[in-house]
Amino acid sequence: MATDASRGGTPSLLSTLPKELPLDFLKEITDGFSPERKLGKGAFGTVYKGILQNGEMIAVKKLADNSPVAPEKQFQNEVVNLMAVQHENIVKLVGYCHQAQKKVIEHNGRYILVDVVESLLCYEYAPNGNLDKCIFDTSSRPDWKTCFNIIKGICQGLHFLHKEMDKPIVHLDLQPANILLDDNMVPKISDFGLSRLFGEEQTRINTINVVGAKGYMAPEYLYRGEISTRSDIYSLGVLIMEITTGEKNFSSEKDMSARDFVRQTWTDEHIASKYSSLDAGSLQEVKTCIDIGLKCVDIDQRKRTSIVEIVDKLNGRHAP
């Protein structure tokens, strides 16, 4: 049986889970999808904490009943493909369920019995929640070293999705709520590949409907539905700026573009005052991150920097 060193060598049940999981099993480990187990709700459904018999945890995302998911065979194929996406900075998809259930629903003033397909996705559990909950509050904000490692990790995860897959995966919804943090504050990109399950247009509509999500969407994607890895780069830029500055949507003052605001406000003196006791190396890292963030959010998508350049810069490698 598989063991897990982090659990003191005790057997890991998680690593022995079958890919396809019965609905009854998921109900059992989430206490019947009870409100006490609810971790949060997003554009595609509600996430619950599932606890296995030995105490290991998983996150179970129950897709909304009316989600227009792909037909069963396609759903299974896509999910199995997504389960093969494995990287330290990507949340691991560990299982799924796609099962019909009888349900009584009200229709035109009458109750009728219908078959409803329940679709659920199971992910590795991230104990430190999401980035949105910690970066904007000065009391919970990590120190600069941790922030920099979070930025680097997110960029490495996105590099993997864009450059290391047979077919690039465009995330389409990169934002702080979709960056989860493990025990060691290692960032994990979640919700990747949902467009393959829901279709690209449905993903855009669901995302637009989430309050605050528009601030992360590249203009060509938000207004014209144009999709490319460059739209993720725009969202990444907003994310980098937010983590670096601690300011939501790198907020600006009236009548000034957010980019101009950052350029004018984030002078060396301002950075030094925001982060007390930064050494020269860290000050340079803050400036590099601001510079990268600004290059990502160019309105002209062709001028945005590439994920390869970003990772090189963050690792101190500069193009010749």
Ligand X SMILES: Nc1ncnc2c1ncn2[C@@H]1O[C@H](COP(=O)(O)OP(=O)(O)OP(=O)(O)O)[C@@H](O)[C@H]1O
> From CA 219, how far away is CA 255, in angstroms rounded?
19
Q: Does 210 bind ligand X (CB under 6 A)?
A: yes
User: Which residues of the chain form beta strands (DSSP E)?
Assistant: 38-41, 45-51, 57-63, 93-107, 110-124, 179-181, 187-189
Binding residue for ligand X (CB under 6 A) from 130, 156, 195, 203?
Answer: 130
86 vs 276 by CB, closer to ligand X? 86
User: Which segment (7-15, 95-103, 126-134, 293-301) binds ligand X by CB under 6 A?
Assistant: 126-134
Q: Is residue 268 annotated as a catalytic residue, yes or no? A: no
Q: Is 266 helix (H, G, I), strand (E, B) or coil?
A: coil
Radius of gyration of the chain (CA): 21
Told to check if 59 binds ligand X by CB under 6 A, we report yes
Residues whose CB falls within 8 Å of the CB of residue 126, separated by 6 or more in sequence, listed in order: 59, 91, 180, 181, 182, 188, 190
Q: Give residues with Cβ within 8 angstroms of 275, minimum separation 6.
A: 144, 282, 286
Q: How far is the CB of 315 from ligand X (least distance, A)?
A: 27
Shorter beta-carbon distance to ligand X: residue 186 or 311: 186
* Tokens found for residue 6: 């982090």
**Residue 24 C-beta: closest distance to ligand X, Å:** 22
Using CB under 6 A as the criterion, what x/- string covers residues 142-171 for binding ligand X?
------------------------------
Among 31, 115, 173, 182, the one annotated catalytic: 173
Restricting to residues 20-39, name those near ligand X by CB under 6 A.
39
**Binding residues for ligand X, per CB under 6 A?**
39-45, 47, 59, 61, 91, 123, 125-126, 129-130, 173, 177-178, 180, 190-191, 210
